[in-house]
Amino acid sequence: MAEIFACQVEVLDGSTVSIDINKRAPGQVLFNEVFKHLGLDETDYFGLQYLDSKEQVHWVDPLKPIRKQIKRGPYNFRFRVKLYPISPSYLFEEATRYFLALQIKEDLLNQKLYCAEDTNAQLSSYVVQGEFGDYDPADHLPGYLDDFPYLEDKSPEFRKKVQDLHQKNRGLLPAQCDKFFLDLACKLDRYGMDFHPVNDVSGIQLHLGVSHRGVTVFCGDLPTLTPLNHFPWVRISSVNFKNKQLLLEMVSPPQQNYIEIIGFTCPSKSACKTLWKSCVEHHTFFRTVKTEISRRPSTNSLFRRGSTFRYSGRTQFKLLQEGTSSKRPSKRFERLTSRNRITRKTI
């Protein structure tokens, strides 16, 4: 009898999906079950996270067996956005926008995503409109936002500002709230960044933010990071790693007879490989226009040393092609609010 893993997947809406899979199954089998349950077709923006024995976060590799990625149970995962679309206009499914909005709400709450108070209040007003509907003084009595989980750590002055903005959102349906929320959020400087702690050659503690734009260097501590430098992908000729060292090789300007290499030290070899993988996946997903991606390393690749890992899946270019060339029937899916979270059924 085949050995079965009982997997628990925490979804962005706060629910939990229980899935049983064969111990020899690759990560893609678990992905497929989660995506099927959530009704998602634009799956390549998302991934499953898990913690190793040292509490470091990893993304499940869809091609490797689960048992080779997590040596022993419990088999707990988090369903999260891995690759943030450049613009919400690139998304064709309401469900995709819904889960992306939930991820950004989480990013704002844990201050991974940071913005001015007025912008935060406007974003929060869309969240409130999506959950409470149109403002009605008969139903929404003074203090109706005091116990709202999304605003529970905010000041009374901030909640009053959100309440005033909520009144101006009359008529917006939940899907429209997601759209306005995403349109504003994607303009924030730190939107979609995957942060990694590093040290420079002088030992100064920094953070690298990897996104569709490239690699950004920050000083300070989360949440109040200050950008120091930015390296767009077009300026980077290769990204390599060796042990705990991540090396960015810059494109040489014309008539320059030397190669500029910028190095950073990660806390561990495992952390460095995780950062390198993030660079591989972001660059490939957002900048590749091929319709198929091979896992076979290339000697001419931007990422030509350090590991045989390569991104597998559809690129954003491919997703856009598919979205514009085919008619997508409207799908029904379940929206869970912060006031009606449940445990989803076992698969």
Asked if residues 222 and 215 have their Cβ atoms less than 8 Å apart, the reply is no
- Return phi, psi of residue 112, to 5°: -65, -40
Q: Which one-letter amino acid corresponds to residue 173?
A: L
Which pLDDT belongs to residue 308?
Answer: 62
Tokens 């048992």 belong to residue: 67
Which pLDDT belongs to residue 331?
Answer: 66
Which pLDDT belongs to residue 299?
Answer: 42
Instruction: Take residue 285 and report the two structure tokens written for it.
Output: 């997903």
Asked if residues 13 and 340 have their Cβ atoms less than 8 Å apart, the reply is no
Strands 75-81 and 4-10: parallel
Q: How far apart are CA 243 and CA 241, in angstroms?
A: 7
Tokens 């689960």 belong to residue: 66
- Return phi, psi of residue 180, to 5°: -65, -40
Which pLDDT belongs to residue 136?
Answer: 96
Asked if residues 21 and 29 have their Cβ atoms less than 8 Å apart, the reply is yes
Which pLDDT belongs to residue 327?
Answer: 65
Asked if residues 246 and 276 have their Cβ atoms less than 8 Å apart, the reply is yes
Tokens 């997903």 belong to residue: 285
Which pLDDT belongs to residue 345?
Answer: 40
Which pLDDT belongs to residue 298?
Answer: 46
Residue-level pLDDT, tens digit, the chain, 347 residues: 468 889 999 999 999 999 999 988 999 999 999 999 999 999 999 999 999 888 889 999 999 999 899 988 889 999 999 999 999 999 999 999 999 999 999 999 999 999 999 999 999 999 999 999 999 999 999 999 999 999 989 999 999 999 999 999 999 999 999 999 999 999 999 999 999 999 999 999 999 999 999 999 999 988 889 999 999 999 999 999 999 999 999 988 777 777 899 999 999 999 999 999 999 999 999 988 765 555 544 444 565 554 566 787 889 999 888 888 766 666 667 787 765 544 444 34
The model carries a pTM of 0.90
Which pLDDT belongs to residue 344?
Answer: 40
Instruction: Take residue 277 and report the two structure tokens written for it.
Output: 């993988």
Which pLDDT belongs to residue 335?
Answer: 85
Report which of 91, 8, 142 is spatially closest to residue 316, judged by C-alpha positions.
Answer: 91
Asked if residues 319 and 285 have their Cβ atoms less than 8 Å apart, the reply is no
Question: For the sheet containing 236-242, what is the strand order?
Answer: 226-232, 214-219, 205-211, 194-199, 261-265, 245-250, 236-242
Q: How far apart are CA 305 and CA 114, in angstroms?
A: 34
